[in-house]
Each structure stands twice: as structure tokens, then as C-alpha cells.
Amino acid sequence: MSELIRAIGLRSAVLFVLGSVIGSGIFLTTGVMAAALPSTLLLLGAWTLGGVFALTGGLTYAEMGAMFPRSGGVYVFLREAWGPLPAFLYGWAALLVVVSGGIAAVAVGFADYLSYFVPSLSPASVVWRVPVPWGTWTIAAGQLAGVVSLIVLGAINYVGVRSGNGVNVVMTAAKVGGLAALPLLAIAAPRVTPAWTPIVPAVPHPAAAFGVAMIAVLWTYEAWYFVTYAAGEIREPERNVPRALVIGILALAAIYISVNVSYFYALRLDEMAGVARIAERSAAALVGPRGATFVALTVVVSTFGCNAAAILAGSRLLFAMAEDGVFLPVAGAVHPRYRTPHVAIVALTLWSIVLTLSGTYEQLFTYVMFASILFSVFCGLALFRLRRTRPDQPRPYHAWGYPVVPALFVIGSIAFVVNTLIERPVESISGLGLLAIGLPVYFYWRRAAGGRGATPDRISHG
């Protein structure tokens, strides 16, 4: 049977980390954050703390990525440490909404920014209104444009990991270059002098405001671990997965912090507060309308490239689940010519298209993100458990700063879980409900796998 090929080198893996994360968030979130947290120092502190948190996670996951260098990433770590059921529930949540819903959201964001150049693709431009039992199903031109982008990216990933990764490399290089232009513009033509005081903003509850800002920051850093999903196609994964995680996250934090500093040199805090498209507004303030056009083009490239990486990564998660017998077995097939998990790619692309057209992905995404963060706690704890239960397991990389750094990641994840539960209790409980729906699916596939003589309980050491 054909197998996946290791075609991704270290440089491409680092760009994979950047490409998976940088979508539209960095272009949008700071203005919204400034409305709740009007302090340049605390805003910059939030972005820095987000980078530190991601780095603690990267250092934690790096050891497990080197231990189990196969497709599936976090799913594999959870399975090896806690067994097949927690791993399946993670994969269920990721494929049902977290990965696919993220792809759908980015696809619509791509179309939204593309409408800057093609106004007919505006989200307000309705193509069809379809009567359904619960009301009217409205499909906008932007949704269709998003669907087309997903079909193109699905096809590119279908015909080879090199082509899918190649698109990610080119798109990532282009969007990093576009982001780098913002600090350069701020240096060359600063419009304002940032007000670095007061440290504590004049808001009723500064600590709560900082917590709200951190939610936005952590969403923008989300997906740094996607590179572990594709470990089965990375060359020398025992060395390159840890290196890609550390180098990629450090580069990501440097980009995010420098871009935010450029915002502070382009706009006053009162001009930033509540502005959704903060990057456009900043570039326009620095160099005029041409700056806004340049940023819009950068976001088009950024979102397209982000989904190229997400489809590549997410399909490998589905592939790993199928190999373990807890998903349709055909999703574990490898194309004899292209050497890609082609069925998994098609399945993920089609489901993402359904969510794009449904318009419900944002609500579902909110429901399941609580569960996703909860799994970060268990994945961080997985390192401690594996150290205890498998002391003789080969570890090409040992987590730097163990046990302090992994403990900080676990504590930070717990704090974020608690904060999300307090701020969004209904969505959090609903997310757990969606996980519960996965239980009968798991037991069905487990029985089916047992009938074929396979078992999802098997342990694979890559």
C-alpha cells in the first residue's frame, strides 16, 4: 500500500507554523482590544504574553512531537498518554468544527477582503434566498467566492504534499513580507508619538479588561501546533518538528509585536478604539489610500495561504483517526500516484464548504473552542504522564525547562478555560454537549474496527 512521503523540510515546516497561524486576526483584533483596554503598554503586554504562552506550549509539544513523529499531532499525543477515547473526542471536536469551522471562517474572510477589489463579492451581496423549514437560507456572493477558494486549495492539496506545501510557502513568504512593511512604514513616516502611559487604564475593571484582550490575542495565536498534524510528512521529524515549533513561534511573536508597535505609531489610542480593520486604518494614516489597498491585498494572500496550511494539516488528523479505526476506513487511504490522503482531503474540504454555505460556523466554533482549550490542558499534562509511564521511551528532544515550562502552559490553559467558562457559560456547556454527541460515534466505530480484527486501542510509536 502507498504511504505518505516525507517531503517537508525544516524551512518549510517553520513557514508551515507561520502560515497556519497568520490569517486575518492580526489585521483586525487590536482595534477591538483597544476599546476594552485603552493602554498601549498593556496591549503590547498582552501580545507579548500571548507569545510566551504559545512558546511554552510549543516547547511542551515539541518533546511529544519528537517521540511520536507521525501524522495526527495532538490527537496522537492524547491517545498515547490517555487512551483512544479522549483522543477521539479531541479529533471529533477538531474535525466537526474547530478546524473545519476555522477554515470556513477564513474562507469568508478571504472573500470579504477580496470584495475590496471586486465589490460584487461583498457579504451584503445576496445571490440566493432559499426557503427552508426554519426560515430562509441566504447565500451571499462572498460565501460562494469562499467556496471556490476551498475547492482550489483542496485540489492543490489533493495532487501532492509538495504542491500544497509549496502554496503555503509562497503565500506565507508574501504575507510575512506584507506585514513587515507596516513597521517599516511606521519607522519611515510615523504619524504620532505613542502614549506609553498610563500603565493602568481608566476603566472600571482593568484586570477583567486585560483578560478580555487576552482572549482575542490567544485566538490570533491559535493553530501554532498544526505542524504536528503533518509530522508524518516532515523530513527528520525527530529534529525538525521541535525546531519548527520553537523557531516558528518565536518568529510569530516577533511579527505580531512589531506590527502592533507600528499601529501605535500610526494612530492614537482614541483613533484605534473599536476599529475593526485596524491594519488598513493604520496604513492609510501613514501613507494614504495606497496603504489601505496594500493591506487589503496582503490579507487576501494571508487568508488564502492560511487555509492552504489548514487543509493540509486537518486532513492528516482525519487520516490518523481513520488509521486507528475510529473514522471511515477509506479516509486512511493514500493516493497511489500523488501519495496524499486524498479521501481525507476531499472529506475535510467538503465539510468546510458546507459550513461556509451554512453561515453557522461562527456559532459552532464558539461552542467547541471551550472544549478545544480544555484539551490543551490534557495535552500539556500528557507530557508529565508520559514521563512517568514511559521513562524508557526514546526522546530525541527533551522539553526545555521541564517541569516548570510545561507546568506554566498547563496553568495558563486552565486559567483560560476558567475565564471562558465564566465569560461564556452557555457556549462552554454547549461545547461539552457537542463532545458528548461524539460518544456513540466512537463506540460504533470501535465495534466496527473490532469486527475487522483492528482496534483503535493499538499503540503506534511512529
pLDDT value, residue 454: 42
Residue 300 and residue 171: Cα distance in Å, rounded? 10
User: Phi, psi at residue 267, to the nearest 5°?
Assistant: -135, 145
Q: What is the pLDDT of residues 106-133, one digit of tens each?
A: 898 898 889 889 988 876 677 777 776 7
Q: What is the mean pLDDT of residues 410-434?
A: 84
Burial of 330 from C-beta contacts in 10 A (0-12 / 13-18 / 19+): exposed
Q: With pLDDT > 70 as the criterion, what percentage of the chain qualifies?
A: 93
Nearest 5 degrees, angle CA 448-CA 365-CA 246? Answer: 90
Q: In sequence order, which residues have a C-beta less than 8 Å from that of residue 15 and are 6 or more positions away?
A: 168, 169, 172, 173, 248
Q: What is the pLDDT of residues 36-95, one digit of tens each?
A: 888 999 999 999 999 999 999 999 999 999 999 888 999 999 999 999 999 999 999 888
Superfamily of domain 10-448: Amino acid/polyamine transporter I (1.20.1740.10)
Q: Using the predicted structure, report yes or no on whether residue 320 has a pLDDT greater than 60.
A: yes
Q: What is the pLDDT of residues 332-349, one digit of tens each?
A: 999 999 999 999 999 999
pLDDT value, residue 401: 93
Residue whose cell numbers read 513557514:
15
Please give the model's pTM, rounded to 2 decimal places: 0.89
User: Residue 265 corresponds to which amino acid?
Assistant: Y
Q: Using the predicted structure, report yes or no on whether residue 363 has a pLDDT greater than 60.
A: yes
User: Phi, psi at residue 237, to the nearest 5°?
Assistant: -60, -30
386 touches 450 (CB < 8 A): no
Confidence label for 159 from pLDDT (cuts 50, 70 and 90): very high
Q: What does pLDDT average to over the chain?
A: 88
Of the candidates 8, 15, 6, 9, the one whose C-alpha atom is nearest the C-alpha of residue 170 is 15
Confidence label for 452 from pLDDT (cuts 50, 70 and 90): very low
Q: What is the mean pLDDT of residues 274-293?
A: 91
Residue 115 and residue 297: Cα distance in Å, rounded? 11
pLDDT value, residue 174: 92
CA atoms within 13 A on the CB side of 370: 23
